[in-house]
């Protein structure tokens, strides 16, 4: 799977879960019919949000994005549907092209983030396990910290 395809799938999933969460919020706060949508879709969105951010960082390192592009990629997960707009913009700018730079026979990593990414891209099965563990761990931290405080 190319960086472009992985990033696109994560950006799309993040936007879809945003939509589901917005539906849940509508049912809870506008129609006052159920809180179930917020509970379920809030958790799903949180997990996909974390997954998107981890994939965005990996893509940032692989594609050698400037800091402002990488940070914009991360910030785009906050407003609804902005990840899809960011994905389209980076594709139009040619910033998602190419393979994983450090896969077998590829470039040699120079920095610590590049060494980590090289290890992950050269060991895809272990990378999947590391990704699941990282998402689960970060989700656990987020659950421990609790939801954002409301204004009321």
pLDDT in tens, 5-64: 999 999 999 999 999 999 999 999 999 999 999 999 999 999 999 999 999 999 999 999
Contact 94, 82 (CB under 8 A): no
**Phi and psi of 99, rounded to 5°?**
-85, -175
Task: Write down the pLDDT at residue 147.
Answer: 72
**Tokens 């809030």 found at:** 42
Reply yes or no on whether the pLDDT at 152 is more than 50.
Answer: no
Task: Write down the pLDDT at residue 105.
Answer: 80
Domain boundaries, the chain: 3-145
Q: Is 96 exposed, middle or buried (0-12, 13-18, 19+ CB in 10 A)?
A: buried
Task: Write down the pLDDT at residue 71.
Answer: 98
The average pLDDT across 92-96 equals 97
Measured CA to CA in angstroms, residue 1 lies from 5, 10, 103, 111, 124 at distances of 6, 12, 11, 23, 10
């Amino acid at each position: 799977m190319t960086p472009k395809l992985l990033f696109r799938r994560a950006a799309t999933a993040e936007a879809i879960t945003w939509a589901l969460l917005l539906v849940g919020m509508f049912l809870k706060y506008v129609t006052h019919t159920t809180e179930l949508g917020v509970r379920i879709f809030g958790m799903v969105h949180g997990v996909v949000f974390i997954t998107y951010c981890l994939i965005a960082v990996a893509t940032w390192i692989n594609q050698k994005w400037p800091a402002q592009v990488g940070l914009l990629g991360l910030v785009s997960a906050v407003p609804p549907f902005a990840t899809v707009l960011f994905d389209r913009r980076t594709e139009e700018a040619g910033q998602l092209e190419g393979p994983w730079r450090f896969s077998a026979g590829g470039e040699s990593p120079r920095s610590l983030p590049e060494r980590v990414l090289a290890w992950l891209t050269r060991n895809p099965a272990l990378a999947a396990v590391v990704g699941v563990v990282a998402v689960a761990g970060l989700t656990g931290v987020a659950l421990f910290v609790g939801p954002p405080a409301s204004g009321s």
